[in-house]
Structure 1
Amino acid sequence: MDPLSALRDFTIRNDLDKIVRIGDEFRFGGDYSFPCGVATAYRSKQGSLYSLETLIYFVKNHHLKHTDYMHNARSHNLSAVTFIDRKPLLDYLQGKVSSSDSIQFLAPQNPKFTSDEYRPEDPSLIQITPNDDNDFDVNDEIGARVSDNYMAMIRAMERPLKDRETMLECRNRNFYVVLTAATKRDEERQRLESQQRKDGLVAKNRLMRGDERGFGDEMGYDSTPKPKMLMKGSKIGEGVPIILVPSAFQTLITIYNVKEFLEDGVFIPTDVKVKQMKGPKPECVTVQKKFSRDRLVTAYEVRDKPSVLKAEDWDRVVAVFVLGKEWQFKDWPFKDHVEIFNKILGFFMRFEDDSVESAKNVKQWNVKIISISKNKRHQDRAAALEVWDRLEEFMRSRSRG
């Protein structure tokens, strides 16, 4: 039995404790033994075959968080299973799937041939017979066997140089510059469209005000429209509603990247945004939903310093992105987090593959957990829309209440 099949068999049988390393080889109970560094038939997406000791260490430690597993593997001078190979490899070893495209069983290094098979070093076994035209042909049966043997050996030695996934893997390359340029172009386009819509509305309002003013003058009253203010007290306070974000860098959404996330549906890490910024850190950022082009949208102020808010400002606070720590709410004008999240909408942003411990406190709060991918940026828009949907519903309920 080959090393990979033996490891899969012992994993499915839950007999991993019977795999013991003695010297430079692994012994699978009393059944098999293989050299520790022998290459298995499982090929990484990066192109290389995983060794037996790499797979054994992985399957015995797959419960660890991937970053912890990689750190421990390096401390043991072992190659680590890549993140992209992790799930399909584990599914195969645990018997959840019966096969995988990554498995390529090798032909024996020194294949043994039976006495009637073709051996390249023994040409005497090739029988040459004359045909009716006095030309010589290789015996058909032996020729077919030669062809089959060679083709089997060639296929066994074939190795894919590139596939669809490895073509996208560019080591030592950073595409944030491309993402930033594309985001800026999209931002400028949306800004121009927004300005054109505003110009059209202004012109329309002026025409309507002119008509109303003429009608009002004829009737003897002032028909000039009065500005509408948002409700105070238990309603949203006067002025623009406020969204609070943590000032700590260990949270995903900060005042540096909140605009790109909420307006453009693109998550850019805070450290990347800080490097791109020119000038001091902003005290306030204004955001609005750009995904709806047919109707007017509400603008929001985003702030990360609750300590500077006045008593009347707290009436305008409608949402907060939480860090998951109680000390974030120190000196807030509320009794506890229960009162906070009864009056303010709470969000907690996390990566979808983070450990459950990171959201342990948050799960006890009345907070919506929003998950995004570490690498799949095209999924950010759906997460941003989920935030907007919750926020708009919350605003409608507060206005009704």
Structure 2
Amino acid sequence: MDPLTLLRDYTIRNSLDRIVRVNDEFRFGSDYSFAATIETAYRSKHAQQTRRYTLETLVHFITNHHLKHTDYIQNARALRIPAVTLPDRKPLLDYLTGKVQSSDSIVPLDFPNINPQITNLDRPNLHHDSSAAAAAAAAEPLVSESEGNLIELIRAKEKPIKDREAMLVFANRDFYSVLTAATKRDEERQRTEALQRKDNIVAKNRIESRGFSTGEDANKMRKMGEGVPIILVPSAFSTLITIYNVKDFLEDGVYIPTDVKLKQAKGGKPDCVTVQKKFSRDRVVTAYEVRDKPTALKSDDWDRVVAVFVLGKEWQFKEWPFKGHVEIFNKILGFYMRFEDDSVESAKTVKQWNVKIISISKNKRHQDRAAALEVWDKLEEFMRSRSH
């Protein structure tokens, strides 16, 4: 199978995550591998007549086609990958995603003129284990000398493909690192769960140590101290922070778009996600629950809600047990995430609310950590004021 057809097939099946680059080649699952710089059958109409897009260019384009063209060009230049021209973007995207079945930009690669009728290779009875077939095979060769030359021409154009066993053979590498990485992740998960249980116990002990053991005051303090604090995020995908990517942003300080996380997700949508401030020097780290279904919260759960990421729309708070956004943001800390180069109009409504606007870059991922720290600082300051 040629690389252009294979890339189109993987795009239509939403299997681009199975295309992995290893050194100077792309591997399509465990079945095919091609050199990154191999030319494909797709030729640009707006460049030299002989210019064909390489597999490297097409893979980079289809995985970054959501970027603006200027951002895409800059990204391609930074990686030193030839870019797809602006006029070619839409017809190429339509073909790779299956919107059109063919394109006049597809010019098959030239192969030597060969005779397709190699009759001796298509004998139906050669695989039968019979004396007649054996005698026929011994009487004449499978291919003639001229046919053998044609086969050599075909093999000269072929790319050897690795099988599953060959894929597991690497020089100076074993799978011990895979085992240790898996073990490390399991230990990290166990530590997280242990810290969460410890936080609940510490909060409970603090309440009892302050002398709140009976009466209405004790019940009020227990409501604020028991259980894990809740952070609400919108369920709409139009917002930057959702239940799919909130853990990467708050725990690791990295923003990953929701559509990317959806492709990586295994299983259904989670009802609740637990996050912690991992990049902290504090010995006691508080765990938070992140949810995106306010209607599923009970009255006791609302006492644990400490923060919310807002959409900037009033209807987000339609069924909340508060009189309006003024009361909400007096009791709950509000955040609004935006890209730093978005228009001012997008945050016009939010600027009238008592919320903190957090700006991140569309492309500079090294700046995400500072934005995540800003969220944690405001949240921890709010939690301290709430406990007094």
TM-score by length of 1: 0.47
Larger radius of gyration: 1
